[in-house]
Amino acid sequence: MNLLLLNVIILVYLLATLYLGYRGWKSTKDSEGYLVAGRETHPYIMAMSYGATFISTSAIVGFGGTAGLFGMGLLWLTVLNIFVGIFIAFVVFGKRTRKIGHNLNAMTFPELLGKRFDSKFIQYFSGLVIFFGMPLYASVVLIGAARFMETTLAIDFDVALLIYSVIIAGYVIWGGLRGVMYTDAMQGTIMFVGMAFLLVVTYAHLGGITMAHQALTDMAHLVPAKLAAQGHTGWTSMPTFGSTWWWTLISTVVMGVGIGVLAMPQLVVRFMTVKSNKELNRGVLIGGIFILMMTGVAFAVGALSNVFFYQTQGNISINIAKGNADSIIPIYINAATPEWFVYLFMLTLLAAAMSTSSSQFHSQGSAIGRDIYETFTRKKGGESILVTRIGILVAVVIAVALGYILPENIIARGTAIFFGLCAAAFLPMYACALYWRGATRMGAIAGLITGTLLTVLWYLFIHKAEAVPLGICKMLLGREILITQMPWPVVDPIVVALPISFLVTVVVSMMTKKMNEKTLAECFKGIK
Amino acid sequence: MLPHIMAFAEGDSSGVTRMAAKGQHLAGVSVLGIDDPWIWGVYLLCIFSALLCIIYGAFNWNRGGEQEVADIKEEAAWEAKEEEMQEKELGL
């Protein structure tokens, strides 16, 4: 390890961050007319800021490593990331969310839904789902950063997790960075350059695009027998249709995360902070390229790491990583790229994780303070602030504790669980809230409860990967899972819970009392 | 490779047979060193999806910025409230 180089890179990075943070802060403080007149944010700054918030260590380290295990089939997730996560999210959901959010004066995602359907229950129940569901996602983001630190600095994972947790706790308690579009944009730029460099280095090292892919195609016979038995057919071919491997790839990894992004509380809120639809239109262009360079490169490189390790060390990635897919990308970057890049990449990942972690903890804090406590007690101010801060602290502690408890190979799965839960619980009512005036309060509540309960029960009693280690089914019913008939033990809850929740929302809405015309008029004011 | 596929698709066999045969034929095609059409297809689809975003963004680059005074006031009020919430409830 070159300590001098590491320290110089950290110092330059910190100085640049502080300078840009100060510039961002100063520009918001200085211009009195900022809210009305100074609305022209440079589209590059805006879109890069979006990108840096979208992408965390989970996408690059967690899912990149999963591609090292599953192969290029993960690129289906990139297609959804771009088409659903950027195009549909910005164009179809973003514009209306922004308008309705402003019409209703909503500050959080649960508040938007609660006010749209005139229901306190929707607000606090959604707050509860976020507060109890998000720690898993927050935790895997911490794990992603710690795994990279563990490999790069050659320190124990537990120590790396502790160091990172202290940094993040200090960052959150200090208040996070406000007015940091410039800092975010710098992080986004470094991530973009870093991933582009990674892509070029990987293909150059393996002899070009076609040669690299061909080498990976030719490695199909190296798939371990145990994985082949589950449907793994190689790293440049889809798993056997209907096999365990296929269902996990398609239903959990691709659909869970690809669709769930539409109903992520911290991303929905960002649409409401956008100045105008123009920023959303421009964001589509830059966001599309950015996501391709982030997840597209991470998944392609993750899969190709098998060729690199086979050519240099005579083994496939998952074996090099000792069975832990979460370590594949850190080990690959350390082995295949120059030392200065490894340090730069580590800082980039830490920074990317930091902005995500910070928004996750704040989302959980506001869920408990604003959406739950204020809704129940109708008290605002003093006590609510205290509850929010305690909520943030509890969220940090839970996430760190989970980081120590959770098993290996958890980053992608943990992310997928939370994304899937959000999709099933919120997406039907959110989509109806934006586009269907006929959706009723009872319909939304029925859909919310159905989606949440079905997802939770499916994980506890049917989906083998969670039901068996959790052991609740075994304890209550004396058997590990309720249905053993294939493919149900490997079908992700989203496949069942999302359509049923949609159906329930629509059917109950058609059978129950329509929403008050006055409320609807207020919601849809200015929408043609 | 492409003309070969097209020539095949233009043949006079019935729809179903043609589809099945085409699928079989595609399975034998290697694009960029990848044999499985579901994988080289998605590799290209990633690039096309990004292109779709680029085209949409370029065509609408200046659209959606025209706002009425009422909109600006409404947004300013929302932002002020959001700022207050950030300060009072999150302590930022």
A101-110, A165-174, A314-323, A409-418: which has the minimum mean pLDDT?
A165-174
Q: Which residue has the higher pLDDT, A246 or A46?
A: A246
* Minimum-distance CB partner of B50 among A36, A216, A288: A288
Residue B35 forms contact with A (CB below 8 Å):
yes
Write down the H helix ranges in A325-381.
Answer: 328-336, 339-366, 374-377
* DSSP 8-state code for residue A240: P
| Each residue's pLDDT tens digit, A423-475 | 999 999 999 999 999 999 999 999 999 999 999 999 888 888 887 777 887 78
Per-residue confidence band for A381, with pLDDT thresholds at 50, 70 and 90? low
User: Minimal Cα–Cα distance from B12 to chain A, Å?
Assistant: 30
Coil, helix or strand for A269? Answer: helix
Which residues lie closer than 8 Å to A449 by C-beta, 6 or more apart? Answer: A125
Taking alpha carbons only, the member of B49, B56, B63 closest to residue A77 is B49
Residue B28 forms contact with A (CB below 8 Å):
no
Residue A316 is predicted with a pLDDT of 93
Residues in a beta bridge with B31:
B34
* Residue in chain B lying closest to A374 (CA): B89
* Minimum-distance CB partner of B79 among A35, A82, A284: A35
Q: Which residue has the higher pLDDT, A173 or A45?
A: A45
Residue of B30, B31, B42 to mutate, interface with A, max A Cβ within 10 Å: B42
For residues A435 and A19, give the distance between their C-alpha atoms in angstroms, rounded to a whole number: 43
Q: Which residue has the higher pLDDT, A92 or A348?
A: A92
Can you tell me the mean pLDDT for A358-367? 78
Q: Which residue has the higher pLDDT, A477 or A355?
A: A477
Across A13-17, A163-167, A181-185, B38-42, the highest mean pLDDT is recorded for B38-42
Which chain B residues are closer than 8 Å to A365 by Cβ?
Answer: 90
For residues A514 and A117, give the distance between their C-alpha atoms in angstroms, rounded to a whole number: 10
Which chain B residues are closer than 8 Å to A279 by Cβ?
Answer: 64
**Does the pLDDT value for residue A14 go beyond 80?**
no
Amino acid at A508: V
Residue A42 is predicted with a pLDDT of 63
Structure tokens that stand for A152 in this block: 């790069």
**Does the pLDDT value for residue A47 go beyond 70?**
no
Computed over every residue of chain A, the mean pLDDT equals: 84
Per-residue confidence band for A33, with pLDDT thresholds at 50, 70 and 90? very low
Residue A236 forms contact with B (CB below 8 Å):
yes
Residue B31: what are its φ and ψ, rounded to 5°?
-115, 125
User: Minimal Cα–Cα distance from B32 to chain A, Å?
Assistant: 4
Residue B90 is predicted with a pLDDT of 53
Interior/surface letters A440-467, b for 16+ CB within 10 angstroms, e for the rest: bbbbbbbbbebbbebbbbbbbbbbbbbb
Per-residue confidence band for B54, with pLDDT thresholds at 50, 70 and 90? very high
Q: Is B90 in contact with A366 (Cβ distance < 8 A)?
A: yes
**Does the pLDDT value for residue A91 go beyond 60?**
yes
A10-19, A117-126, A160-169, A220-229: which has the minimum mean pLDDT?
A10-19
- Domain extents for chain B? 2-67, 68-92
**Does the pLDDT value for residue A382 go beyond 50?**
yes
Residue A205 forms contact with B (CB below 8 Å):
no
Residue A174 is predicted with a pLDDT of 58
User: Minimal Cα–Cα distance from B8 to chain A, Å?
Assistant: 24
Residue A256: what are its φ and ψ, rounded to 5°?
-55, -55
Which chain B residues are closer than 8 Å to A284 by Cβ?
Answer: 53, 56-57, 60
Residue A238 is predicted with a pLDDT of 93
Across A250-264, A294-308, A405-419, the highest mean pLDDT is recorded for A294-308
Structure tokens that stand for A20 in this block: 């840009």
Residue A143 is predicted with a pLDDT of 87
Q: Is the peptide bond before A487 cis (omega within 30 degrees of 0)?
A: yes
What is the rounded (10 degree) CA torsion for A424, A429, A432, A433? -140
Taking alpha carbons only, the member of A483, A496, A492, A512 closest to residue A451 is A496
Q: Is B89 in contact with A73 (Cβ distance < 8 A)?
A: no
* DSSP 8-state code for residue A72: G
**Does the pLDDT value for residue B59 go beyond 50?**
yes
Residue B69 is predicted with a pLDDT of 59
Residue B65 is predicted with a pLDDT of 67
Structure tokens that stand for A309 in this block: 């390790």
Residue A15 is predicted with a pLDDT of 79
Q: Which residue has the higher pLDDT, A349 or A23?
A: A349
Residue B39 forms contact with A (CB below 8 Å):
yes
Q: Which domains does chain A have, with CATH numbers?
A: 3-16+41-523 (1.20.1730.10)
For residues A311 and A31, give the distance between their C-alpha atoms in angstroms, rounded to a whole number: 57
Residues 492-511 of A with CB under 8 A from B: none
Per-residue confidence band for A25, with pLDDT thresholds at 50, 70 and 90? low
Write down the H helix ranges in A410-485.
Answer: 411-435, 441-461, 464-470, 472-477
**Does the pLDDT value for residue A267 go beyond 70?**
yes
Coil, helix or strand for A90? Answer: helix
| Cα end-to-end distance, chain A, whole Å | 61
At CA A491, angle to CA A132 and CA A138, rounded to 5?
25
Residue A192 is predicted with a pLDDT of 87
pTM comes to 0.84
Coil, helix or strand for B31? Answer: strand
Which chain B residues are closer than 8 Å to A382 by Cβ?
Answer: none
* CA distances in angstroms from A264 to A47, A327, A396, A420, B66, listed in the order given: 18, 26, 19, 10, 29
Structural contact between residues A138 and A360, judged by C-beta atoms closer than 8 angstroms: yes
Structural contact between residues A297 and A199, judged by C-beta atoms closer than 8 angstroms: yes
* DSSP 8-state code for residue A222: G
**Does the pLDDT value for residue B46 go beyond 90?**
yes
For residues A290 and A30, give the distance between their C-alpha atoms in angstroms, rounded to a whole number: 31
A132-136, A214-218, A358-362, A424-428: which has the minimum mean pLDDT?
A358-362
Residue A442 is predicted with a pLDDT of 94
Residue of B44, B51, B78 to mutate, interface with A, max A Cβ within 10 Å: B78
Q: How far is CA A48 from the centre of its chain?
A: 17
Q: Is B50 in contact with A82 (Cβ distance < 8 A)?
A: yes
Q: Is B65 in contact with A278 (Cβ distance < 8 A)?
A: yes
Q: Is A276 in contact with B92 (Cβ distance < 8 A)?
A: no
Can you tell me the mean pLDDT for A367-378? 78
**Does the pLDDT value for residue B9 go beyond 70?**
no
